[in-house]
Amino acid sequence: MVDFVKRISGVNPRKCMKCGKCSASCPAYDEMEYHPHQFVDMVETGRLEELMNSKGIYTCLSCFACVERCPRSVEPAKLIEAVRTAVVRQQDKTHLKPDAIPALLDDELPQQAITSAFRKYRK
Amino acid sequence: MQRIGVFVCWCGSNIAATVDVEKVSQVLAQEPGVVFSTNYQYMCSQAGQEMIQQSIKEYGLTGVVVCSCSPRMHETTFRKTCEKAGINPHMVEIANIREQCSWIHKDKEVGTEKAIILGRAAIAKVHLNTPLTAGTSPVVKRALVIGGGIAGIQTALDIADAGFEVDIVEKQPTIGGKMTQIDKTFPTLDCAACILTPKMVDAAQNEKIHIYSYSEVESVKGFVGNFNVTIKKKARYVDEVKCTGCGLCTEKCPQKKVPNLFNLGLDNRRAIYIPFAQAVPKVATIDADYCTMLKSGKCGVCSKVCTAGAINYQQKDEFFEQQYGAIVVATGFNPIKLDKYDEFAYSQSPDVVTSLEFERLMNAAGPTGGTLLRPSDGEHPHTIVFVQCVGSRCDDEKGKPYCSKICCMYTAKHAMLCREKYPDTDVYVFYIDVRTPGKNFDEFYRRAVEEYGVHYIKGMVGKVVPQDGKLKVQASDLLGNRQLHIDADMVVLAAAIEPDETARPLATKLTASMDTNDFFTEAHPKLRPVESPTAGIFLSGACQGPKDIPETVAQASAAAAKVIGLLCKDNLTCNPCTAEPNELMCNGCSSCEKVCPYGAITYVDKEFRGPNRTTLIRRVAQVNPAVCQGCGACTVACPSGAMDLKGFSNQQIMAEVDAICR
Amino acid sequence: MSVNEQFQPTIVAFCCNWCSYAGADLSGTNRLQYPANVKIIRIPCSCRLNPMFILRAFQKGADGVILCGCHPGDCHYTTGNYYARRRMTLLFSMLDFMGIERGRTRVEWVSAAEGAKFAATMNEFVDTITKLGPNRRLEDLRCRKE
Amino acid sequence: MTYSYFPGCTLKTKGKDLDRYARISATALGFELDEIPQWQCCGAVYPMSKDEIGTRLSSVRALISAKEQGRELVTLCSACHHVIKRVNGDVRNDEQIRDKVNRYLKLDDAYSGETNVLHYLEVLRDRIGFAALKEKVTNPLTGMKIGAYYGCLLLRPGKEMGFDNPENPTILEDFIRAVGADPVIYAKRNECCGGYCTIENRNYAKKQVDGIMENAKAQGAQMLITACPLCMYNLKENATDGLEVKYFTELLAQALGLKEE
């Protein structure tokens, strides 16, 4: 599984020097129980189970601030996406069900938001 | 037929672990001409060398092959060994079975086989070796130091002390370099100017030292012992001899809005200026980019106020040539540009400064007179955030891959000085690692934490948002596992340092090599740290790698010692591996003359015996062995094959090719 | 085919003394592996390489020849590598004309600091030559062993 | 000059203004936007996993359409631009993805990333030129203090997008100057607005937007402009006490005197 995450993300967590730039840049820091720098470390040390059960993987905005600023080009956002992909591809692990959508809508919400959320939260 | 001895070295286990040295010496013993073959634990040791010498005498060897480490390591050693035993040093060949064999292969069989082939190639070459005698060339007893910072000054002072002439070429109007901009020095906290300016004065007053300020090296020709350098003296529009340095012009000049580069643009100066009060030489310089007189021909105030009549708007760049025996590079460093790291808002707020700017803000001679004030509003800052490793230790595309080395210590110094002068300030330092390997360095850092109450936080700053006169700092605290939000008054960035931008073109002029970061490479990373691989070029200070002041001074003196060692000699032994034409084959076509980068080849008319007792006069090439450096360009250009290179002759190289392909 | 699997090419590498030979030493110092097929011959400068040497190597059964020199502009002798570059361009186009695969010869600039590049280049080159198979066109059969 | 044009789903519905003003301004500035036939939604988020091929296909189809027309492809919505530009980069640089995409689509002519993807703003900057734009302005918005809101998608990752300096962009500021107004620089102009997470967690988006608004106001902005419908939504709907937000194309049309009052 760790290999799968490394392969589809294309990230080498070994490049991380544990400087904390990603967690310093992350706008979603307070929404996550495992923060970006921990994320990288947990993938490296194989603690994937905890990550996959974490709600934090759905709060990453994919804003690429960590990717842009990481001095070692580790690209934590890609790891988070890979773990989330690994989860939502499992049966019954869809995070957002179509039935739930109408309740979330308002008149102004752009299609883009729904499409994005669907792409991020289900397969 | 040569009588060849083969000596296979184990290099402890370095070679013996992946190469069966016993087998190598046995197989090579079967090669034609080999009369003796053996192996030994350390061939370069005293005992090993004695063994070689004894064998030479015992077996009457005429040639020696040593299978050992790289010839770049011990070729000279073994040549000397053999010379003492009475054979020509150029009858020795090294088969590199360590760097190019045992260290790169894991399989013993493969390594052994390759070692044998490399040994055979060396034997094949020795068969064709001829005794060579080196000529000599005279040494010009004068040294050039490029760069007049603390490194260049120290090197020049030491060389001058030994009694040799030294010229310093400095591109700025004054010598002194980066150290003049620094306030205090770690870990002793003594004032930089107090220890530097006396040295600057020493250099200026020393009879043996000549300072060319506001000058640059234009071109370099020649070789060790005899460099011919063209120096460009840039027009400063002021007669250096007449100017007394009174400074009246710098007060009267009406062009007041010129960024003061000495203070890193934190305040302004005039278009005619003396960088700072202790400048050496203390001579005014006109900044041509801003001077109204030079741009539009209207003004001339400085010329009117100058009682010495030193102003000369017609001055032009001057070029002159000088001969040197040795050249020292001391081009130093600069902090990197920060446009790639604007998450720190460096371009958006004047209160985000680099550490060097911070030095100026703390300096008594700086723009604020030594009181720490925010550049934006001149208020005292109460919360200061220091960020380390800005642009250092990065992936190649994100910044500099190396550690800039000095930042941890100067940041600790800044933090400590802030807390000492202004105990009401909160000081935060964000670090990845604190690196303090130096005498009294870690003690210094601990003092900053324990006695001065500086908050050291393991983490990084991710974003700085200037808002409402504050700098909102968003950062990570990895040990506290939280994201911090600090309202700071100032943010200080420890920007990575990089070699000066003049270093790369200079390296090309000197044919000195550089690493991928544009730092000069040394001849050997451990054993010859102050010499460049190019003979006669020496390295001093941060041009070779990031360094603090004590290290820079140590290296500067070391470089001086090497220069003195060179200049002490009246003559240098030349490289005996020079080109040599076979006059009978030379047809005088001049092909070789055209490709020679040193102008070592000339043509002479020579008498030859023709058929039927006639005499012919033919034009043939002649090589000056003192000038020839032995590159071999001419040997390939020669259409008739008359030109050959001693020590690397066509026959020798082809013998090696044959031995490898056999 | 098993013959191809066992094929161990003979490769001659000419390295200039100042940059590439030092680069090769550095890759040794850093213990970077490359195949033993590569045998290095030290020459003072890449411009010392007479095209004749390359032909001789092929004649004697080499399967690939590579020349390594200082980066353009960094030559110890100022301009030697420029000469080498021009000469090799000519030689290679002649070899091409003769039907020798373009991959059998190569020029690479390796500085004294580029141990990793040296090893990587050699790995690549050995790979290329192994794929190309033995050099038969230029080999002088009279020189063949056995 | 005619460019192939990919409007994207939102520009046909909630983001109509962004599209409409862009088209009329283009005509006035002397270039045409030719909508590519039968385009499909780009998917709105870039699939970061290397093994996602299906989600990359709609972008590739759009890129191929432009290639067949022999034109550059212009996008307007930040999200579409981000996705299409990066997918194009993948096809160009990642051999595996290129191979898989081509096999899947069974193309007669292999596609390997030949199309050049431009954002509308890049057309203004690099093809028209802001100086030329300035000359065409008939109704300069003098005295308006406008903050540019970039968000994340246009700028990052800087290496792949190649749009502007990702930490200190200037393209929208230059645009604001060109239409006669004064740009206000504020640091949070490249902070994320909360994106799609607003669907699940509105408070979270609110926090982001309030921070951005506060920063822009403190620096003196009277209005924000953006190129992204989702940023627009978040900035408008989730701000506690927000500034007015407009699409940059509306401002452009206004300055060119094309906007009906």
Task: Indicate if D169 and D243 belong to the same structural domain.
Answer: yes
Contact D52 A68 (CB under 8 A): no
Sheet holding D223-226, edge to edge: D182-184, D145-148, D223-226, D244-247
H or E segment at B189?
none
Find out whether the peptide bond into A76 is cis, omega within 30 degrees of 0: no
Q: Closest partner residue to B72 among C25, C34, C62, by Cβ?
A: C25
pLDDT grade, residue C122 (50/70/90)? very high
Q: Is residue C4 part of a domain?
A: no
Q: Region D144-162: what's the mean pLDDT? A: 94
Q: Is residue C34 part of a domain?
A: yes
Tell me how many domains chain C contains. 1
Q: Is residue D243 part of a domain?
A: yes
Q: Closest partner residue to B533 among C18, C31, C75, by Cβ?
A: C18
> Which H, E and C letters describe A25-74, residue by residue?
HCCCHHHCCCCHHHHHHHHHCCCHHHHHCCHHHHCCCCCCHHHHHCCCCC
* Entry field: residues in chain A: 123
Q: Is residue C142 part of a domain?
A: no
Q: What is the CATH number of domain B142-234+317-332+500-567?
A: 3.50.50.60
C-alpha to C-alpha distance for B516 and B520, rounded to whole angstroms: 9
Which residues form the domain of A101? 95-123
Token duo for residue B328:
């020292």
* Entry field: residues in chain B: 662
List of chain A residues whose C-beta atoms are within 8 Å of the C-beta of residue B343 = 25, 69
C-alpha to C-alpha distance for B555 and B517, rounded to whole angstroms: 20
A26 touches chain B (CB under 8 A): yes
Q: Is D31 helix (H, G, I), strand (E, B) or coil?
A: coil
C-alpha to C-alpha distance for B377 and B58, rounded to whole angstroms: 87
Q: Is residue C87 part of a domain?
A: yes
**Residue B557: how many other CB atoms lie within 10 Å:** 18
| Stretch(es) of chain B classified as CATH 3.40.50 | 4-128
Contact B100 C28 (CB under 8 A): yes
C-alpha to C-alpha distance for D78 and D119, rounded to whole angstroms: 8
What does the pLDDT read at residue C7? Answer: 87
| Stretch(es) of chain B classified as CATH 3.30.70.3270 | 579-646
Best of B342, B407, B460, B472 to mutate (most A CBs within 10 Å, chain A):
B460
Q: Is residue D15 part of a domain?
A: yes
Q: What is the pLDDT of residues B238-269, one digit of tens each?
A: 999 999 999 999 999 999 999 999 999 999 99
Q: What is the pLDDT of residues B630-660, one digit of tens each?
A: 999 999 999 999 999 999 999 999 999 999 9
Q: Region A66-93: what's the mean pLDDT? A: 91
Closest-CA residue in chain D for A25? D191
Q: Region B192-213: what's the mean pLDDT? A: 96
pLDDT grade, residue D108 (50/70/90)? confident
C-alpha to C-alpha distance for B630 and B525, rounded to whole angstroms: 25
List of chain B residues whose C-beta atoms are within 8 Å of the C-beta of residue A35 = 476, 481, 483
Written as one string, the DSSP assignment of B101-132 is IITT---HHHHHHHHHHHHHHHHHHHHH----
Token duo for residue D113:
């990333």
List of chain D residues whose C-beta atoms are within 8 Å of the C-beta of residue B347 = 168
List of chain C residues whose C-beta atoms are within 8 Å of the C-beta of residue B577 = 44
Half-sphere exposure of D29 (CA within 13 A, CB side): 31
CA of residue B57 relative to chain centroid, distance: 44
Question: Quick one: which of B192, B33, B44 has its CA closest to B120?
Answer: B33
Lowest mean pLDDT among A111-120, B629-638, D186-195: A111-120
Task: Indicate if D6 and D116 belong to the same structural domain.
Answer: yes
Task: Indicate if A40 and A72 belong to the same structural domain.
Answer: yes
Which residues form the domain of D251? 138-255
The topology under which CATH files domain B334-498 is FAD/NAD(P)-binding domain (3.50.50)
What does the pLDDT read at residue D261? Answer: 63
Task: Indicate if D113 and D154 belong to the same structural domain.
Answer: no
What does the pLDDT read at residue C3? Answer: 45
Task: Indicate if A99 and A78 belong to the same structural domain.
Answer: no
Architecture of domain B4-128: 3-Layer(aba) Sandwich (3.40)
Task: Indicate if D50 and D148 belong to the same structural domain.
Answer: no
Find out whether the peptide bond into B187 is cis, omega within 30 degrees of 0: yes
Instruction: Look at residue B84 and tell me whether its pLDDT is greater than 80.
Output: yes
What does the pLDDT read at residue C146? Answer: 53
Q: Closest partner residue to C28 among B103, B633, B637, by Cβ?
A: B103
Token duo for residue D197:
């997470």
Q: Closest partner residue to B462 among A18, A25, A73, by Cβ?
A: A25
Where residue B297 falls (left for φ over 0; alpha for ψ -120 to 50; beta otherwise) is left
- What CATH number did the domain enclosing D167 receive? 3.40.50.11810
Count of B-C CB contacts under 8 Å: 152
Closest-CA residue in chain D for B397? D159
What does the pLDDT read at residue C1? Answer: 39
H or E segment at A81?
helix A76-88
B347 touches chain D (CB under 8 A): yes
B466 touches chain D (CB under 8 A): yes
C-alpha to C-alpha distance for C126 and D242, rounded to whole angstroms: 65
Q: Region D178-190: what's the mean pLDDT? A: 95
What does the pLDDT read at residue B562? Answer: 97
CA distance D186 to chain B (A): 7
The topology under which CATH files domain B579-646 is Alpha-Beta Plaits (3.30.70)
Contact B513 C113 (CB under 8 A): yes
What does the pLDDT read at residue B514? Answer: 85
Helices A2-9 and A76-88, axial angle in degrees (round to 10): 120
Give me the residue label for tokens 């050693």. Answer: B77
First to last CA, chain A: 18
Which residues form the domain of C91? 10-133
Task: Indicate if D112 and D156 belong to the same structural domain.
Answer: no
Q: Closest partner residue to A19 among B460, B474, B483, by Cβ?
A: B460
Give me the residue label for tokens 């720190």. Answer: B344
Q: Is B221 helix (H, G, I), strand (E, B) or coil?
A: strand
Q: What is the pLDDT of residues B528-580, one digit of tens each?
A: 899 988 889 999 999 999 999 999 999 999 999 999 999 999 998 888 999 99
Let me know if B437 is exposed, middle or buried by CB neighbors in 10 A (0-12, 13-18, 19+). Answer: exposed
Q: What percent of chain B has pLDDT over 70?
A: 100
What does the pLDDT read at residue A115? Answer: 86
Best of A14, A23, A70 to mutate (most B CBs within 10 Å, chain B):
A23
Q: Is residue D81 part of a domain?
A: yes
Best of B396, B476, B478, B485 to mutate (most A CBs within 10 Å, chain A):
B476
Q: Region B449-453: what's the mean pLDDT? A: 96
CA distance C1 to chain B (A): 23
What does the pLDDT read at residue C99? Answer: 86
Contact C10 B657 (CB under 8 A): no
Task: Indicate if A110 and A77 belong to the same structural domain.
Answer: no
CA distance D142 to chain A (A): 31
For chain B, give the mean pLDDT. 94
Task: Indicate if A58 and A117 belong to the same structural domain.
Answer: no
Is the distance from CB of B544 to CB of B517 less than 8 angstroms? no
Q: Closest partner residue to A20 among B395, B399, B459, by Cβ?
A: B459
Q: Is residue D127 part of a domain?
A: no
Instruction: Look at residue D160 and tell me whether its pLDDT is greater than 60.
Output: yes
| CB proximity list for B194: less than 8 A, separation 6 or greater | none
Q: Is residue D128 part of a domain?
A: no
**Residue B340: how many other CB atoms lie within 10 Å:** 18
Amino acid letter for position B400: K
Tell me how many domains chain A contains. 2
| Stretch(es) of chain B classified as CATH 3.50.50.60 | 142-234+317-332+500-567, 334-498
Task: Indicate if D186 and D150 belong to the same structural domain.
Answer: yes
What does the pLDDT read at residue B154? Answer: 98
Contact B633 C83 (CB under 8 A): yes
CA distance B593 to chain C (A): 14
Token duo for residue C75:
């030559």
Tell me how many domains chain D contains. 2
Lowest mean pLDDT among B53-62, B377-386, B618-627, C80-89: B618-627
H or E segment at B619?
strand B615-623
Is the distance from CB of B139 to CB of B180 less than 8 angstroms? no
pLDDT grade, residue C2 (50/70/90)? very low
Task: Indicate if D173 and D110 belong to the same structural domain.
Answer: no
**Final residue before a domain boundary, out of D120, D154, D180:** D120
Is the distance from CB of D170 to CB of D130 less than 8 angstroms? no
List of chain B residues whose C-beta atoms are within 8 Å of the C-beta of residue C25 = 70, 72, 96, 99-100
